[in-house]
Structure 1
């Protein structure tokens, strides 16, 4: 779909309504924006509608088969890859992403996904100030819309390095096309939106579970400042992330029985009660082929089906597995060894594997921010400011000690820098962070070229089968920003 027409199609934004649970959505398609945005219920329903595409993005999107966040953040790195299935070639696009094969349009299809979010956010932000209802409720709703607009532009900013800044509801054809804004302008808008959201949003204790909070907005601000090496600003933002604590047991963080726990700053909500709201990304992490009996053992579902048409995704790499220290309690919560129907044994990501009742309808949520990352960011921000290494190690050691490990042995700023990056790889594995860490630390060329050489030299160690191997152009594209979609270039007169 052409991006121009996607934005036009969103001129009249229709959102789902909310009753007791903001996951329970119903349609208001007979209403236009002119008559719809009047009451508190209207804006509550509109904000609920912002969460819908976010949930779809973090879960399997379209034909991708796996979470785009995990595919970009983990498979497009040295942390995870795929298990080559010669009988299923529909996954070649994801394979190329994992193998850094040159592609002109890599990730360009996601451009329109974020403008769907942005359009919905703008419809709330643009009308809510003129509505008459409780001021505190209004502030909280506007804060949520501002957070998601900032978060949407944060994705666009990192993927493409530029964006078209749409900050008001689009009401005419002429408004659908605008000039590209440069990196500095997009960064400034993200900071402005996230900062205002932080002032408007409720804290965790007061906010409805599953909605974004003041802490999430400050984490987004810190994320931006960390990206640009603005360490003092990052530290300042992180100090405002309060009211959270580490869980004692790492595995408990991800158990659906502990949704929105004390460590959770913001997680995308899924419910197994409905196919529309459930998560299923773990099913693309299982080996192929697998029998229905195997699926039943792994998941506990009462209606298991065999897994035949597909390819195992997000498979832990040898580099990732080797990064664990002896005695690290996170290993058992993150990785387990499984066999496919042919008896071939392989490691799989088990972080999102918990018993559920119905095939491909899991309760597992997806984390955007949790308190462990706050501590790791704080360790890094303090270390990079110099002369505070002991203070920085204190934050890192909280993460290590929770995992059953001794304090770090790093004794210099450079050693601690490496230790923090490694700890982030392990602690935040399969939460979509590794690629972005490599980009912001300038490590892509060094890490991925070394990793790629190993894959090419020993393809069987990296889950190829028989005589199969990476394509000749694998591990030759180390781009850190990607091309805009051709449709945007074609239909937006301001884009070359």
Structure 2
């Protein structure tokens, strides 16, 4: 993520490493389980890692790729992990001091680009999109249709904000959560049964039972 509290950070959750019980364990939560102590110097790992599909979503020459995603190979297997949260010298109970970004300026710019494009102001939207692209070493997008601009903006959000807990909210907002996750299941033949249960019901949370008991006129969301 670069230096904490840099000019891109609007709001973040602050952490303090060094054994004060105020650090984070992001470094171990975002690396593949088989990596042992190879990546960060302490044992750890999880299944909270990336995919080849995400890796390939970065365009050739994108300066963000090597700082956002690391590649770890063991035997015939290749893992893609969140390098933006890793650091090589995790000590004191695996605590790190990387802050968690809640809102970044790049996120605001891309939200603004999305709003402009959805309101038919595609040229203005591309101007905002290109602020993020050009600072990442990519060529500016010009002359796109509204549909193509929408695709470009959505992919830009995917790569710029990867591993920052934004993707699910984006997919829900775009109403693409179910088809995207079903495609993931098909493409990767995942053994995780939860992926097979991605249905339109999950686009909404259930209304709490307590709220329904307080107001009998409330109708539970479909599927719950």
2:15 corresponds in structure 1 to 270
With structure 2 as the length reference, what TM-score do the two structures score?
A: 0.84
Structure 1 or 2, whichever has the larger Rg, is 1
2:140 corresponds in structure 1 to 407
Checking the alignment, whether the CA contact within 8 Å between 2:71 and 2:78 is kept in structure 1 is yes
SS for the counterpart of 1:314 is: coil
Checking the alignment, whether the CA contact within 8 Å between 2:67 and 2:84 is kept in structure 1 is yes
Which has the bigger relative contact order, CA under 8 A and spacing at least 6? 1
Distance in 2 of aligned mates of 1:473 and 1:441: 19
1:315 deviates by 1.6
Q: Deviations over 1:419-447 (max 9, x none)?
A: 10110001011111111111111222332
Are positions 1:417 and 2:186 aligned together?
A: no
Distance in 2 of aligned mates of 1:394 and 1:379: 8
RMSD: 2.6
Distance in 2 of aligned mates of 1:290 and 1:443: 33
Checking the alignment, whether the CA contact within 8 Å between 1:378 and 1:395 is kept in structure 2 is yes
2:219 corresponds in structure 1 to none
Give runs of aligned pairs for residues 55-94 of structure 1, distance below 5 A: none
Distance in 2 of aligned mates of 1:400 and 1:262: 17
1:187 corresponds in structure 2 to none
Distance in 2 of aligned mates of 1:438 and 1:291: 33
Distance in 2 of aligned mates of 1:377 and 1:427: 12
2:114 corresponds in structure 1 to 380
Aligned residues: 214
Distance in 1 of aligned mates of 2:161 and 2:86: 16
SS for the counterpart of 2:186 is: helix
**Larger deviation: 476-485 or 317-326?**
476-485
Checking the alignment, whether the CA contact within 8 Å between 2:63 and 2:136 is kept in structure 1 is yes
Does the C-alpha gap of structure 1 residues 449 and 291 become closer, same or farther in structure 2, counting only changes over 3 Å?
closer
Among residues 150, 159, 182, which one is paired with 1:426 in the alignment?
Answer: 159
Give runs of aligned pairs for residues 259-408 of structure 1, distance below 5 A: 259-292=4-37, 294=38, 298-299=39-40, 304=42, 306-307=43-44, 312-339=46-73, 344-358=77-91, 359-386=93-120, 388-408=121-141
Distance in 2 of aligned mates of 1:286 and 1:323: 20
The answer for unaligned runs of 5 or more in structure 1 is: 1-253, 460-468
Q: Deviations over 1:132-185 (max 9, x none)?
A: xxxxxxxxxxxxxxxxxxxxxxxxxxxxxxxxxxxxxxxxxxxxxxxxxxxxxx
Checking the alignment, whether the CA contact within 8 Å between 1:315 and 1:348 is kept in structure 2 is yes
